[in-house]
Chains A and B, each alone.
Chain A
Amino acid sequence: AQKITQTQPGMFVQEKEAVTLDCTYDTSDPSYGLFWYKQPSSGEMIFLIYQGSYDQQNATEGRYSLNFQKARKSANLVISASQLGDSAMYFCAMRVMDSNYQLIWGAGTKLIIKP
């Protein structure tokens, strides 16, 4: 069965510091995609970054980077130089071919940036 695990229910980080949000995944399918989304209190899911299972390099998008360790089945999100506006819920999600391309989600991490 496919599963996403986010073990950090909440995190407090000082503004301008880097933060790492943990995500581990479980699937037996060799082809999968990993996503990170941000959900502010308004509710909308905002796409941050994508990593494919066959990608050789770690994905980066501006201040966001994904630390992809395939052997450990982890896909941690790194946010550099955190900002107050980064305070939100963060979700790791996975898509595999076996599951009709649905997104399988973790429970999320609530990130609070302190000024």
Chain B
Amino acid sequence: ETGVTQSPTHLIKTRGQQVTLRCSSQSGHNTVSWYQQALGQGPQFIFQYYREEENGRGNFPPRFSGLQFPNYSSELNVNALELDDSALYLCASSLSPSGTGGILNTEAFFGQGTRLTVV
């Protein structure tokens, strides 16, 4: 096990609703990133937080937002859910050297994911 915990593991929401997914990082990790993995595809980067600030964002609309807390746990919020938001949402935590927000060989430790179904 990686020590990264995501909750809930599964949920079903109705189109137009809002959802909050949670991630508890591995102890000591200061960076968290979120990925969306549609069925049968590779993950797509949503955004990354380093020490409570967003320091990278993928090609996702503003209705995807996030937070990182002082204990480095994190939330992913999605507003106005659409059917295409149905996917596995993965959280990854890592330890970035001070002042960098990441380096090339930083190993990311993943949680088991939250499977979101929008109906």
A-side interface residues toward B, CB under 8 Å? 4, 31-33, 37, 42-47, 50, 52-53, 91, 93, 95-97, 99-108
Q: Of B40, B56, B112, which contacts A101 at CB under 8 A?
A: B56
Q: Does B61 contact A (CB under 8 A)?
A: no
Residue total for B at the interface (Cβ-Cβ under 8 A): 32
Q: Of A46, A101, A107, which contacts B41 at CB under 8 A?
A: A107
A43-B90, A105-B35 known, 12 other contacts, Cβ within 8 Å: A4-B42, A43-B115, A44-B113, A45-B43, A47-B108, A47-B109, A50-B107, A101-B101, A101-B106, A103-B35, A105-B42, A105-B44
Are B45 and A103 closer than 8 Å at their CB atoms? yes
Please report the number of residue pairs spanning A and B whose Cβ atoms sit closer than 8 angstroms. 76
- Assembled-state Cα–Cα distance A99/B103 (Å): 11
Q: Does B76 contact A (CB under 8 A)?
A: no
Q: Of B41, B43, B55, B90, which contacts A100 at CB under 8 A?
A: B55
In the assembled complex, which residues on chain A have CB atoms less than 8 Å from the CB atom of B33?
A: 102-103
Are A100 and B101 closer than 8 Å at their CB atoms? yes
In the assembled complex, which residues on chain B have CB atoms less than 8 Å from the CB atom of A107?
A: 40-42
Are B115 and A101 closer than 8 Å at their CB atoms? no
Given A100-B56, A101-B48: A43 in contact with B88 (beta carbons within 8 A): yes
- Assembled-state Cα–Cα distance A91/B44 (Å): 12
- Assembled-state Cα–Cα distance A43/B40 (Å): 12
In the assembled complex, which residues on chain B have CB atoms less than 8 Å from the CB atom of A31?
A: 104
- Assembled-state Cα–Cα distance A46/B111 (Å): 9
